[in-house]
Amino acid sequence: MLLKVCGMRDEANIKGLIALTPDFIGFIFYPKSKRFVGKNFIMPLVPISIKKVGVFVNEALPNLLSLVKKYELDFVQLHGNETVEYVNEVKMNGIKILKVFSVSDVLPIQSMKKYLSLVDYFLFDTKTPEYGGSGRKFDWSILKQYDLNKPFFLSGGVALSDVDDIQDLNLKNLIAIDVNSKFENSPGNKNLALVKELKVKI
């Protein structure tokens, strides 16, 4: 299973994480997030083997495109209420896309079908007013309803102790877990020892 570590912004912490070789590193460009990178963020050099993911929530398209170019992002994670038309515009600019669906007790399969041809992956997170980062889980067993031909990431309160349960779900399209708050010393500062343990476990 692949690993995405999200909510990074501190230079030394990012460099420490890079040494642990996750598959994806997430940087949050949503100003209302506790883990917002800030307006003057300087990104350390990230090896091409680790994909850089910019997390956006209902961002104006010109600003999104500008930030993708500035930070040479490999993916954008669209975490808001982005329309099919908006996502298509992003795709037409040659950008790889993770589209987030916030879940409580049912998968919005019909809504997701509209994005199937446009995105590279779906990502399921727990539904909250803050667009993620809550540290709360949804009922992962509902993922057994998922029957679309698109791989997905699992997010939402994933902790080290959850790995066995996630693997036991045996979900064929689950290709990555996305961790954040359960691996932090403080918002935006990851506990690298915990991440290292996670890498061994998955």
Domain spans, the chain: 1-93, 107-174
Q: What pLDDT is recorded for position 27? A: 98
From first to last of its 202 residues, the chain has per-residue pLDDT tens of: 999 999 999 999 999 999 999 999 999 999 999 999 999 999 999 999 999 999 999 999 999 999 999 999 999 999 999 999 999 999 999 999 999 998 988 899 999 999 999 999 999 998 876 655 556 788 999 999 899 999 999 999 899 999 999 999 999 899 999 999 999 999 999 999 999 999 999 9
Q: What is the pTM of this model?
A: 0.95
- Residue 18 is inside which H or E element, if any? helix 11-18
- Phi, psi (5° rounding) for residue 34? -65, -15
Task: Check: CB of residue 21 under 8 Å from CB of residue 195.
Answer: no
Task: Check: CB of residue 103 under 8 Å from CB of residue 109.
Answer: no
Q: What pLDDT is recorded for position 106? A: 87
Q: What pLDDT is recorded for position 134? A: 58
Q: What pLDDT is recorded for position 130? A: 65
CATH pick for 1-93 out of 3.40.50.300, 3.20.20.70, 3.40.50.720, 3.40.640.10: 3.20.20.70
Q: What pLDDT is recorded for position 186? A: 95
Task: Check: CB of residue 92 under 8 Å from CB of residue 71.
Answer: no
